[in-house]
């Protein structure tokens, strides 16, 4: 299995620009999670989907952030407009809950975002 795939791996953009991060979960997984990691706040859950439906977006910082999952094999996290404080590593993770809540979340390699 290829694991969770994220693109791009690195993104440098200027303040005010739109940023789109992409994620391909592990095939067959029905949960998808977006996390943000910063030195100050650690690892935070932004939003998660079940069967392509957003379940909990309470961690999304503000309206500039949006996430979609048009099908079971693709999700996007968009920031528009971007700000320097959005600089972080963004992780996507997926899991299959067929075995119950103890099932593992598998993380992608992350996208390192720098907003200048």
Partner 1 sequence: AQSVTQPDIHITVSEGASLELRCNYSYGATPYLFWYVQSPGQGLQLLLKYFSGDTLVQGIKGFEAEFKRSQSSFNLRKPSVHWSDAAEYFCAVGPQGGSEKLVFGKGTKLTVNP
Closest distance of CB 74 from partner 1, Å: 18
**Subset of residues 57 to 116 that bind partner 1, contact rule: CB under 8 A:** 91, 93, 95, 97, 100-102, 104-110
The answer to whether the CB of 82 falls within 8 A of the CB of 115 is yes
Note whether 48 binds partner 1 by CB under 8 A. yes
**Binding of residue 34 to partner 1 (CB under 8 A):** no
- Contact 113/19 with Cβ under 8 angstroms? yes
| DSSP element (H, E) containing 21 | strand 19-24
Instruction: State yes or no: residue 51 binds partner 1 (CB under 8 A).
Output: no
What pairs with residue 38 in β-bridges?
Answer: 42
The single residue among 4, 19, 88, 113 that binds partner 1, judged by CB under 8 A, is 4
Beta carbons of 69 and 83 less than 8 angstroms apart: no
Angle at 76 between CA 53 and CA 61, to 5 degrees: 80
Name which of 14 and 56 has its Cβ closer to partner 1. Answer: 56
The footprint of partner 1 (CB under 8 A) covers 4, 31, 33, 42-43, 45, 48, 50, 55-56, 91, 93, 95, 97, 100-102, 104-110
């Amino acid at each position: 299995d290829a694991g969770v795939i994220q693109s791009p791996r690195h993104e440098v953009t200027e303040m005010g620009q739109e940023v789109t991060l992409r994620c391909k979960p592990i095939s067959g997984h029905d949960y998808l999670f977006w996390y943000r990691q910063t030195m100050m706040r650690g690892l935070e859950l932004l939003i998660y989907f079940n069967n392509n439906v957003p379940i909990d977006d309470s961690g999304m910082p503000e309206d500039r952030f949006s996430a979609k999952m048009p099908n079971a094999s693709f999700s996007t996290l968009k920031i528009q407009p971007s700000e320097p404080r959005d600089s972080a590593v963004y992780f996507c993770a997926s899991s299959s809950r067929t075995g119950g809540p103890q099932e593992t979340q598998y993380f992608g390699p992350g996208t390192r975002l720098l907003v200048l």
